Structures are given as structure tokens and as C-alpha cells.
Amino acid sequence: MEVSWPLEIARAVGLAVVMFTFIAVVAAMLGVLLERKIGGWIQSRLGPKHVGRQGLLQTVADTIKLLQKEHITPYAADALIFNSAPLIVAVAGLLDWIVIPFGVVHIGGTTVPLVVRDLNIGVLFFAAMASLTVVGILAGGFASNNKYSLLGGLRSASQMISYELPLATALIAVAMQAGTLSTVGIVKAQEGWFGSFAFSQFPAFVIFLIAATAEVNRVPFDLPEAESELVAGYFSEYTGMRFALFQLGEYAEMFAMAALATTLFLGGWKGPLLPPLIWFLIKMYAVVFFLMWTRWTFPRLRLDQLLNLSWKVLLPAGLVWILLTGFAITFLAK
């Protein structure tokens, strides 16, 4: 097929702008508000309430406030790396979304998936982009030239690389059953109510949820930013909008993980009656709610507990599960 390059570039730029605006609004702005509201309900307080109706505009007000804040680069910091680190984290959080299929639309008899690009290595691409965050976090912690930031960055690096392996084992087990790495293909491989991989791949689902929580540095795995011991970890030196970019990257990453959990385990856009896009959003927000629920319920782990869980429990379990899946498919299925 002939490819018209200028047209494709224009389409890509348009899609990128729409996609990133969507994520900044749905994931970051709504996400932060949701987090504070849910946190409020769980802790029997009200949460944000005064800006806009029921506090709906709280994040908008916060963003406007942050836009007026001065950027401070400490004398001790390595200015170039210090300034580019938030950008790396934000972009890494946004790039994940290229392979997430939001739904399907029917155009003239053909069914087109609503995905930016259905890459044939979709899941691997997602894993690669998600782990790019660690570069930004480590760079931020290192360049701040602050003891706590450096410690936070190191902790984050060791945590994220430790949990990347169990995450990968869960992804591989799903890819084995679906027979493809393409995210659209994986959704299509899940047929009917009980065809979701959340059932047949239940151990992988559990491993994925735990590892995903750790990958996005959320409680109970929030050691990198443990406010009570490291001030704020890798971003304590960051002010104003640069701090907000770290937050944006983090929330984009969290929502991307929820979207991937929906895609891989919960049947993606599939569901009765409602349009596919709505089903996708319902499932994604359900996973997001689950992540927030854990955040406001559990205390923080110690570093040794965290590493033990990854290396001594999740990784062996993931490898054994891969072998079991392989065995079942090779010898039991016809």
C-alpha cells in the first residue's frame, strides 16, 4: 500500500495533540481530583469542596496556581539534567498510550479499532516505555544534588527494576495464551464473559496488579517519595510546574497501567449494550479506583520487604506460571 507521508505526519501530529490533551485532562486533572475525593471518603472527611461545584475545579485552580510559581534551580544542581528530568517522566508516561485500544467503531462494514497504532509488538512497547520513567526519576534524583533526592532516586530505580521482571512475566503469560503481542489482538482473543484473561490467567492478573502498583510508585510501594523519611524523594527540589510535570507523568503512567490491565485481563472494550468506549472507560476507572483504594488503605512496606516480595515471591511465581501456561497450551490443548 502506498503511504502518503505528509498526510501521515499531519495525522500523527493531530492525534498526538488530541491524545495528550485527553490524558492531561482525564488522567492527570480528573485523576488527582478523584484521588483526593476518594481519599476523603475513605478517611471520613470531605475532600476538596469549595472550588467549583463540589470541588470539581480544584485541580484547574491548582494548575493555574502552579503556573505562577517561580522555578528554582538550586546552586548545587546539575542544571541541564535537572531541567530535563521532568520532561522525560512526562513524555514516558504519555508514550504508553500509543498502543492502548480504546474501543472499536464500525465504518462502512469494517470494524476499526480506536487505537493510535496497533503495533505488532504492542505489549513489549508498553513495557519499554513504562520503564523509561525510571531514567527520568533517577536523573531528577541525581541532578538535584540533595541527599534525600538521591536516596529517593536510587530507591525508585531499584524498586522499578525489581518489579519490571514480575510485570514482564505476567505480560508474557498473557501473550502466550493470546498468541500475539498486539494489544488489539489480545482483546480480540478474549471471548465472552468468562473468556477474559482475568479468569484463565488469574495468577498473572494478581502479579500484574501488584507489580503495576510498584511500577508507578504508589502506596504500599511508595518508598521513593516516602514523605515522612525522604521529604518527597526525587522531586523535593522541584518547584511549580516542573513538580506538576512529575505528577502528570506519574498519573499518566498509573492510568496507562489501569488501561493495560483492562486491555490484557478484563476484555478491553468488550461488553453488552453500552458502546465499546464507555465499557473501556468503566473498566479502566474500576482498576484506577482499586489502585486508589489500596493507596488509602495500606501502610508502606520496608525496602527489604519490598525487594523480597519481588525477587523471592513474584518472580519465581511468574516464571512457574509461564511454564504452566506453556505446558497447558502445548500438551493439553488440541
Partner 1 sequence: MLLVDWLYVGVFAIVGLLMAALPLAIVWALAPRLSLPQKRMTYESGVVPFGQAWAQFNVRYYLFGLIFVIFDVEVIYLYPWAIVFRQLGKFAFVEMLIFLVILMIGLAYAWRKGALEWA
Q: How many residues bind partner 1 (CB under 8 A)?
A: 86
- Tell which one of 299, 330, 332, 334 touches partner 1 (CB under 8 A): 330
Classified as helix, coil or strand, 196 is coil
Non-local (6+) Cβ contacts of 309 within 8 A are 210, 301
Q: Should residue 264 be labelled a site residue for partner 1 when binding is judged by CB under 8 A?
A: no
List beta partners, residue 106.
Answer: 111
Q: Should residue 181 be labelled a site residue for partner 1 when binding is judged by CB under 8 A?
A: yes
Between 249 and 267, whose beta carbon lies closer to partner 1?
A: 249
Cα distances from 79 to residues 33, 84, 118, 240, in angstroms, run: 32, 9, 38, 16
**What is the rounded CA–CA span in Å between residue 269 and residue 291?**
20
Report yes or no: 154 and 233 within 8 Å, Cβ to Cβ: no
Cα distances from 17 to residues 20, 22, 296, 330, in angstroms, run: 5, 8, 33, 44
Between 238 and 269, whose beta carbon lies closer to partner 1?
A: 238
- Tell which one of 30, 57, 61, 119 touches partner 1 (CB under 8 A): 119
Between 47 and 113, whose beta carbon lies closer to partner 1?
A: 113
Residues 124-163 that bind partner 1 (CB under 8 A): 124-125, 144-151, 154, 157-158, 161-162
Q: Should residue 60 be labelled a site residue for partner 1 when binding is judged by CB under 8 A?
A: no
Q: Should residue 226 be labelled a site residue for partner 1 when binding is judged by CB under 8 A?
A: no
Residues 89-108 that bind partner 1 (CB under 8 A): 90-91, 94-95, 98
Could you give phi then psi for residue 107, rounded to 5 degrees?
-120, 110
Between 121 and 277, whose beta carbon lies closer to partner 1?
A: 121
Report yes or no: 173 and 322 within 8 Å, Cβ to Cβ: yes
Q: Should residue 316 be labelled a site residue for partner 1 when binding is judged by CB under 8 A?
A: yes
Residues 62-81 that bind partner 1 (CB under 8 A): 67-76
Residues 18-47 that bind partner 1 (CB under 8 A): 19-20, 24
